[in-house]
Amino acid sequence: MKLVAVVVGALALAAPAQASEERPTPSELESELVCPVCEATLDTSDAPVARRMKAYIRARIAAGDTKSEIKAQLVDQFGPAVLAVPPRQGFDWIAWLLPLGGLAAGAIVVSALAWRWSRRRGEPPPPGPDGGEPLDAALERRLDAELARFE
């Protein structure tokens, strides 16, 4: 029963993804590509190059190109920096793994500091003002009387 649910779920998610690949929308591609001049996504850029790229995307969609084909043509023309999300291959994996490594290192440092701080509590200080002998009874009574005046 669980296997059937998993298969149905996978098929339900695969159909929209396949449709998006074969018939992309301009807004979908414009949010995944970056203007080479202002380095903002095409959907937020109004630079002349961005307007030409948007027109090119619409023309290629009308011609029947897939999402991957359009992206590949723009990468050939402008280089991989035109992609808003770096590809998950080769040296570009660093862009995906470096933030995760930084988060993991930060979590390790914070947990080590918290563990060290919680172990530092140690023994209570010894009695007396200088850590030596306790106060004699007369001095303690006088101190209590003086403190009582301020309450």
**CATH number of the domain at 20-85, please?**
1.10.8.640
DSSP result, 107-145: HHHHHHHHHHHHHTT-SPPPSSTTSSSPPPHHHHHHHHH
Can you give the residue ranges of every domain in the chain?
A: 20-85, 88-118
Higher per-residue confidence, 88 vs 125: 88
**pLDDT at residue 126 above 50?**
yes
pTM tops 0.75, yes or no: no
User: What Cα–Cα distance (Å) separates residue 110 from each residue in 23, 42, 106?
Assistant: 47, 39, 6
The pLDDT tens digits of the residues spanning 12-37 come to: 554 444 446 778 888 899 899 999 88
DSSP-derived secondary structure letter, 92: G
